[in-house]
Amino acid sequence: MSKFLTISVLTATAASGIRLAAPFLLASLGETMGQRSGVLNLGVEGVMLLGAFGSYYTVLQTGDLWLAAIVGVAIGLIMGLITAVVSVTLKAEQGISGIGVFLFGLGMSDLMYQKLVGTPRPVAQLPAVNIPFLADIPGFGKMLFRQSLLVYLAVLLVPALAFVLNRTTYGTKIKAVGENPAAADSLGVSVNRIRYSTVILGNALAGLAGATLAMELGIFQQNLTQGAGFIAVALVYFGAWRPWGVLAGSLLYGLVAAIVLQWKTLGIIPLSASDLAATAPAVITIFALVLVARRFRQPAALAKAYERGA
Amino acid sequence: MSSKSRGLARHDWGRLLLSWFAMPLAALAALLIGALMLWALGANPVTGYRALGEGAFGSVDALTNTAIKAVPLVLVGVGICIAFRANVLNIGGEGQLVMGGLASTATALAVPGVPRPLLIPLVLLAGVAGGAIWGAIPGALKAYFSVNEILSTIMLNIVAVQVMNYLLSGPLIDKKFSGFSAIPQTKRLAPNADLPILVSNTKLHAGIVVALLAAIVVYVLLWRTGLGFRLRAVGLSREASSYAGMPVKRTITLALTLSGAMAGLAGAVLVFGSASHRMVTDGTATGFTGSAGFNGIVAALFGGLHPLWTVLSSFIFGGLLVGGNAVQRAVQVPSSLIVALNGLVVVFVVSIEYVRRRNRNRPLSFGMPQPVQEPSGTPEEVEL
């Protein structure tokens, strides 16, 4: 344990925790948009897998990390459109259609990987970008300001989404259709149009989350996300549907994962027990769900399709 | 009570009739997209699908493999029928399978000497208990703490898989091979617990009898008992059931417990019906289950959440899974294609469900164009 409690190891662990939190954060912020408008998008995991493969394959073919990120977003947009048609227009049961999207993404990403790549081929990882001056602050600089651009983007999206939700007309409309779609409809807000936009943008962020994950690791494999997309959905509950709460949850997750990894590397916990330690995030989530369910109320129309006059 | 019960049954027959048209359409749509995917990957769709059909249903061996593959799908699927009918979305089949498998394995390891006629029921019951506990937890959390069951069951899937990885690569590992690169698996379990082979020279084991019996029991439970009536009533309206004096919270807990019990039974059958007679995994999330926890949901939805139709649809999806390997051999397209197609089937089935719901009030005019107002907000109208 004394090996772990040194300044350099602690800052390195915190830095990797923030890095690991980024995909969760991106996907959760996207999911927050959808849920605030009343749509439960459970397909995040599948969309992340597709985005991850798309961006990995782009890096493999072109070496262009920016293009790869854009491909991740584009795949998310397409999957978002499909999800919106199914959840909003066809009013499918959202808890189940999301599992369908997950299975589709799981199978499709593996199919493409096996067919187009086949053997594991690592690619370039996202480079860290040092922010001038700030990166040189002892301790904090290394922790916060030597991350990749996508990590900075993810964190900056938190105040951005909070601003949109709380300070803009669009945000008010999102919350209105999530709480009382009939009332919003009667005031001339197009419920379906708002929900289409949140679901499509939310899925774009899920696609980017998958891209971030793949580019941070520099690899792709079957089921690369290993439940990260589902955890991202749970983090929205964890954060009580607020962007800052989601940030706190994502950071907690990233840090727990980083600490477990670090302990494994330093031999603080035996390798055999690392499987048990890996259950920590899921167990924490279940307890968090209990606490949140007692104190906070979910958007009243969450996962309920809206039908005029019904 | 009895007149109400008959009313519900009639209503379900109407839905069932509609499903005759909806389900084949959903399957056809998924198969068409699958053909497009095969074509896009440079494979001949006709060759691919012929290989699929022959690999799944073309010979005695193929049919046996399909039946064996269908057994866990039936068991998970009829459990899903119980939960979904009570409007409890149990996505935790994977974890419940694992826990059932672990509980039955631990039982066989603990008391290997018990005579055969006792040990087989004992390990199966242990599987039921393991799955039931893993279902009761999210059930109680939903009923008494209003925790979303979709999320809690998914989290419990993750926990179960990690516990299995720990146990099979640690305390329960086959000591004979526990080297550096050992497969996470138990030793060969007590032969007294092997599920008997039904037809000699095939692999067809008694698991199929267990599955068929379970489907019948669940059918009777859902439509011929007071508990089943309560489960379905709570599924239709929690408020009305509560007003009628039904114990809603207990019913919700029970729905997930029973659903988990069925998946746990599937886990036990997977272990004791396996060719190696061990509990084995490969470290991945689906190493032990082969995704049966998710595919069982697909089968149940495709079977219209009716236990007996779920048997038929499990056989079809079991065939798809077995045939997927034949597709891989014939046209070199990985069998993950089948996973993707299963996902599409789920999406299509729940999408068609809306059309069926709209038709529900006009049971005589289904299939005809409906003068129903189009929902607003088509994709073209979206402003990005």
Within-domain flag for A1: no
Tell me the average pLDDT across B153-181.
84
Say what the pLDDT of residue B267 is. 97
Total domains present in chain A: 1
DSSP B313-362: HHHHHHHHHHHHHHHHHHH---THHHHHHHHHHHHHHHHHHHHHHHHHT-
- For residue A42, the distance in angstroms to the closest alpha carbon of chain B comes to 9
Helices (H), B146-247: 149-169, 207-224, 226-236, 238-243
Tell me the average pLDDT across B141-166.
93
Measured distance CA(B340)–CA(B37) in Å, rounded: 10
Say what the pLDDT of residue B10 is. 52
**Which residues of chain A neighbour B344 with C-beta distances below 8 Å?**
100, 104
Statement: residue B366 has pLDDT above 70: no
Preferred mutation among A230, A275, A291, A304 to probe B, highest tally of B CBs within 10 A:
A275
Kindly report the number of other CB atoms within 10 A of residue B7's CB atom: 10
Percent with pLDDT over 90 in chain B: 67
Element (H, E) at B33: helix B2-40
Statement: residue B77 has pLDDT above 50: yes
Point out the residue among B91, B336, B376 whose CB comes nearest to the CB of A110: B336
For A64, the domain range is: 7-295
For B7, the domain range is: 2-363
Which chain B residue has its CA at the smallest distance from A103's CA?
A: B343
Preferred mutation among B142, B162, B335, B381 to probe A, highest tally of A CBs within 10 A:
B162
Task: Give pLDDT tens digits for B316-359.
Answer: 999 999 999 899 999 999 989 999 999 999 999 888 877 776 66
Measured distance CA(B120)–CA(B118) in Å, rounded: 6
Within-domain flag for B384: no
Within-domain flag for B370: no
Say what the pLDDT of residue A5 is. 80
Say what the pLDDT of residue B293 is. 94
pTM over 0.95: no
Q: Are B129 and B190 in contact (CB under 8 A)?
A: no
Preferred mutation among B37, B145, B154 to probe A, highest tally of A CBs within 10 A:
B154
Within-domain flag for B374: no
Work out whether the CA dihedral B185, B188, B191, B196 comes out positive or negative.
positive
Within-domain flag for A22: yes
Total domains present in chain B: 1
**Which residues of chain A neighbour B165 with C-beta distances below 8 Å?**
275
Say what the pLDDT of residue B20 is. 66
Instruction: Give the CATH number, domain containing residue A288.
Output: 1.10.3470
The type of residue at B370 is Q
Say what the pLDDT of residue A1 is. 66
DSSP A266-286: HTSS-GGGHHHHTTHHHHHHH
Q: Which of residues 156-195 of B touch A (CB under 8 A)?
A: 156-159, 162-163, 165-166, 169-170
Statement: residue B299 has pLDDT above 60: yes
Say what the pLDDT of residue A209 is. 98
Work out the pLDDT band at B178, boundaries 50, 70, 90. Answer: low
- For residue B224, the distance in angstroms to the closest alpha carbon of chain A comes to 27
Say what the pLDDT of residue B265 is. 98
Identify the CA nearest to B315 among candidates B34, B62, B20.
B62
Q: What is the mean pLDDT of chain B?
A: 86
Within-domain flag for A234: yes
Measured distance CA(B52)–CA(B38) in Å, rounded: 12
Say what the pLDDT of residue A236 is. 94
Statement: residue B130 has pLDDT above 90: yes
Say what the pLDDT of residue B23 is. 80
Question: Are A276 and B89 inside 8 Å of each other by CB?
Answer: no
Exposure string for B256-266, b = 16+ CB within 10 A, e = fewer: bbbbbbbbbbb
- For residue A235, the distance in angstroms to the closest alpha carbon of chain B comes to 10
Q: How many contacts (CB atoms, under 8 Å) link A and B? A: 193
**Which residues of chain A neighbour B378 with C-beta distances below 8 Å?**
89
Within-domain flag for B351: yes
**Which residues of chain A neighbour B334 with C-beta distances below 8 Å?**
110-111, 114-115
Identify the CA nearest to B154 among candidates B317, B285, B283, B346.
B285
Measured distance CA(B94)–CA(B295) in Å, rounded: 10
Per DSSP, what are the bridge partners of residue B280? B185
Say what the pLDDT of residue B268 is. 97
Instruction: Give the CATH number, domain containing residue B277.
Output: 1.10.3470
Averages of pLDDT over each 10 residues, chain A, 310 residues: 80 91 97 97 96 97 95 98 95 90 95 91 87 81 84 96 97 96 94 97 98 94 90 92 95 89 82 79 88 88 84
Is A294 buried (19+), middle (13-18) or exposed (0-12) by CB count in 10 A? exposed
Statement: residue B364 has pLDDT above 70: no
Cα–Cα distances in Å, from A154 out to A25, A135, B3? 6, 18, 58
